Structure 1
Amino acid sequence: MIGAMAITIIKFEGSPHIPLILGAVVSAFIAWRLGHKWDEIENGIYHGIRLALPAIVIIIAVGIIIGAWIGGGVVATMVYYGLKLITPSFFLVSITLITAIVSLAIGSSWSTMGTIGVAGMGIGISMGIPAPMVAGAIISGSYFGDKMSPLSDTTNLASGVAGSNLFEHIRHMFYSTIPGMVIALIAYWFLGRQFADTSINNQDIIAVMNELQTQFVISPWLLLIPAAVIVLVARKVPALPALIVGIILGFLAHVFVQGGSVHEAVNTLYGGFKIETENKLIGELFNRGGIEAMMYTVSLTIVAMTFGGVLEKTGMLKAIVDKILLIARTGKQLVATTVVSSFFTNVVAAEQYISIVVPGRMYARVYREKHLHPKNLSRALEDGGTLTSPFVPWNTCGVFILSTLSVHPFAYAPYAIVNYIVPIISILFAATGFTIQKITDTEAKQLERQEQEAQAQNI
């Protein structure tokens, strides 16, 4: 599958759907030849798809909210004031910090990228900053906040699978994540210096701002809509209801503020916003959104989880990870192996959640045997799983970012600095033993008893 994927994407610049289907067919055939019943394989496929259903619902909701906010003038307002307030030389640093704060508050990198990120792309590109560079900064900030937020699903999942306390897990991630963020901000500051002289782009920026005022009603009151969504999620309202509130407010703004008809506003929610303009940049930024724009992402997510479901249900993924475990003879090697395994799972299973759940379940016992605190495992799962998922073009995260920010993973990869620096720092810490916490034999036995009791309750 990986070979077919590489040829399809790199050589033919094609869609990853067919290689994933090919991988699912071949793996299912191998499993059947080795004695697995078809019903078992089929159940694995459905189980994999069920795991992705929450993500699919969020993908659809984000597509609708992008359409609603563009139609309602929310994105245009954010871009307009962003162009007025943010200087090009500090834009990359600013957008990283803004997305980090928002994602930390709401606990969702996807929601942050689908709202603040879309506006950030418009601002950055209007300033003449390359799209991959802007996307990398947005991704770095969004994933930093998601990873460190107690409201994040991946943060709770990693701590739960590893058996560590949620807030102990977050505090332990400070050691690898904060230095990674500092390095990224310094790098973005240096990258931004080349855009300090904006004389070449000033006319373009003015033209964009004038066109925005022509096409949309620009009002600071419209900024209350994204603020309302952020406040709702910060008050622990689940992401989906909060996004629905944002969709409703955007729809109302489209009709009552921008003067669009109900017919136009409804069509925008499904087919995306359509704008007629001679400004090519405005056309590229604002002709988007809606459910229809997300169907590529939804279909690829289903196909990817079909393949991942077969691998997990038939034990193929476990067999691969067990072979990897043979080289992890010490605690230091085990932590580094966990980071690499989580990234590898992102590649072959194409889903961020599987990259946390599968290695987490398989390595939990080994961590206890080597007297390593569970928070070492939960941090390694997040460093290797959560952060590396955007780099895989067929992973659900990579596909979502391509659909939302319109930048290919191979293009933004060098600039998503937090996402690759933190795993490197984590591996270096593992090699030196720095911040690797140990537990006593008594604590290891207590953790084992707790796991056995939890398994008994599930049964």
Structure 2
Amino acid sequence: MKESKLESPRQINVFLAIIPFIVMIFSMYVAVVKFEIDPHVPLILGTATAAIVALICGYKWDSLEEFMYKGIKLALPAVVIIILVGLVIGSWIGGGIVATMIYYGLILLNPKYFLVTIMLICALVALAIGSSWSTMATIGVAGMGIGMSMGIEPAMIAGAVISGAYFGDKMSPLSDTTNLAAGLTHVPLFDHIKHMFYTTIPGLIISLIVFLIIGLKVIGNETLNDEEVNSMLNAMQDNFVISPWLFLVPVIVIVLIVLKMSAAPALFIGAMLGVLAQVFVQGGSLSTSIDVLTNGYALESGNESVDTLFNRGGLLDMMYTVSMTIVAMTFAGIMEYSGMLQSIMNQILKIAKGTFGLISATLASAFFTNATCSEQYISIVVPSRMYLKSYIDNKLHPKNLSRSLEDGGTLTSVFIPWNTCGVFIYGTLGVYAWDYGPYAILNFSVPIIALILAATGIGVKYITDSEKEEFLEDIYGSEQAKPASNEL
């Protein structure tokens, strides 16, 4: 296809700009809530509406195609990871790795304290490797199996896994979003991380307390059926070789990521180790192990609970997730590159006044970008470009902005079912955003804490007039190079 020259994004009337979003949300409500069907078609309707609005405003169809392709391109790294996670899940089930984790988890972990324990484990792992996705794809998958085997509601387990994984990701110096937020706002990395303590540590404490209460009051009232648990343990022993040596596989993957290997090759190595485990530990054939990578693992143990846990994984099992990601990013591409998102954000900037106004506008803008552009990286990039000079002009240190970008962007991405993070979580943990949302306690408590701090001034760092001039000079150079506060 011959590439067309793209028009420069122009200002589109804000009332026209919000029409695609309204259509998408309304159709999403009808399809998902009323009819309980998949969200793909509502996203396509939103994309079609955005395209019509852009055509009305003078864009050519060739340019709209390019906008969609650019949007999809942004999600390609996520698509690669999603596919690799499918391979990891299939091969780790076939290799008995997941079964080993669940087996020892059932023996060693107390259901009353399971949610607190799994959250802390995920937080520590994500802090060490800097990736919430890799943590959820490894520790999270095992945690879901263990918790469900204990009879704990999947949404609760997913909420604890997500809360822990995103805490560690947000506070890790190895995290890509953490480095992105610090870099875009010209804040030293560890200054950015220290400043996030004000909102994130209280969020962690609140989450742990809530999960402890749930464990003691809700799960604690339910007695574990020893006969059912023993039946599951026996079924796993009958169908898998259970060995503590199999813990080496996830440990190797985590160590590789700690040593700064990229997530994609580390997960691929993890998948190949799972294949080796299926062949040499479980005694499966090479052809069967390779087939599991594509079609997932199939088990008929006679125990319905065990079969539910292990009949999944493989590349094809992730195609629902991949397709939703691609469709969502076509909508995001048109909204971003046609200038519709910019038009909406400019209106928000006009009413953002003072410390509370700017911080609350940043949080709202990051969440809105997550919803419209379906990608958490964009929710950090766009508001950072939008608000940086406004923060400095109002004598607010840029690290207030970097913190707000993560509070409103990184953490809230999980609540949007069509965002790449919400899609990934469904594909990995098997729980929809509207189910785990109430239990992703850290993710919604931190933005609330951020608003309270903005209103009270606690934990807000200000700069002097001289520091303001230094920031402007360092970031924008001469007076002529400084952008207006409402420019992207």
Question: Would you call these one fold, judging by a TM-score over 0.5?
Answer: yes
Structure 1 CA distance, aligned partners of 2:243 and 2:395?
A: 58
Corresponding residue for 2:431? 407
Match of 1:172 among 166, 189, 195: 195
Query: Per-residue displacement from partner, 1:73-128 (whole Å, max 9, x unpaired)?
Result: 11111111111111011101000001111111111111111111111111111111
Corresponding residue for 2:160? 137
After the TM superposition, which residues 24-423 of structure 1 pair with which residues of structure 2 at under 5 Å, given as runs?
Answer: 24-193=47-216, 194-196=218-220, 199-423=223-447
Secondary structure of the structure 2 residue equivalent to 1:436: coil
Corresponding residue for 2:13? none
Runs of 4+ residues deviating >6 angstroms: none
Specify the code of the residue in structure 2 equivalent to 1:366: S
Query: Per-residue displacement from partner, 1:409-457 (whole Å, max 9, x unpaired)?
Result: 1111111110111110011111111111112333333333343469x9x
Cα displacement (A) at 1:359: 1.2
Cα displacement (A) at 1:9: 1.0
Cα displacement (A) at 1:38: 3.1
C-alpha contact 2:328 2:374 (8 A) present in aligned 1: yes
Superposition CA RMSD, Å = 1.6
Task: List alignment gaps of at least 5 residues for structure 1.
Answer: none
Query: Per-residue displacement from partner, 1:247-285 (whole Å, max 9, x unpaired)?
Result: 111110010000110011001111111111221111111
Cα displacement (A) at 1:313: 0.5
Structure 1 CA distance, aligned partners of 2:193 and 2:70?
A: 29
Match of 2:467 among 439, 443, 446: 443
Q: TM-score, normalised by structure 1?
A: 0.96
C-alpha contact 1:2 1:348 (8 A) present in aligned 2: no
Q: TM-score, normalised by structure 2?
A: 0.91
Structure 1 CA distance, aligned partners of 2:379 and 2:36?
A: 26
Structure 2 CA distance, aligned partners of 1:198 and 1:205?
A: 14
Task: List alignment gaps of at least 5 residues for structure 2.
Answer: 1-23, 482-488
C-alpha contact 1:367 1:374 (8 A) present in aligned 2: yes
Structure 1 CA distance, aligned partners of 2:54 and 2:472?
A: 32
Specify the code of the residue in structure 1 equivalent to 2:177: T
The aligned length equals 456
Specify the code of the residue in structure 2 equivalent to 1:427: L
Cα displacement (A) at 1:131: 1.0
C-alpha contact 2:204 2:442 (8 A) present in aligned 1: yes
Specify the code of the residue in structure 1 equivalent to 2:322: V
Query: Per-residue displacement from partner, 1:217-236 (whole Å, max 9, x unpaired)?
Result: 00000001101111111111
Structure 1 CA distance, aligned partners of 2:385 and 2:444?
A: 24
C-alpha contact 2:253 2:269 (8 A) present in aligned 1: yes
Structure 2 CA distance, aligned partners of 1:268 and 1:443?
A: 59
Structure 1 CA distance, aligned partners of 2:48 and 2:222?
A: 53
C-alpha contact 1:270 1:291 (8 A) present in aligned 2: yes
Secondary structure of the structure 1 residue equivalent to 2:371: helix
Structure 2 CA distance, aligned partners of 1:338 and 1:4?
A: 27
Structure 2 CA distance, aligned partners of 1:68 and 1:228?
A: 15
Secondary structure of the structure 2 residue equivalent to 1:326: helix
Secondary structure of the structure 2 residue equivalent to 1:372: coil
Secondary structure of the structure 2 residue equivalent to 1:151: coil
Secondary structure of the structure 2 residue equivalent to 1:273: coil
2:28 corresponds to 1:5: yes
C-alpha contact 2:132 2:169 (8 A) present in aligned 1: yes
Cα displacement (A) at 1:150: 1.1
Task: Report the identity percentage.
Answer: 57
C-alpha contact 2:150 2:224 (8 A) present in aligned 1: no
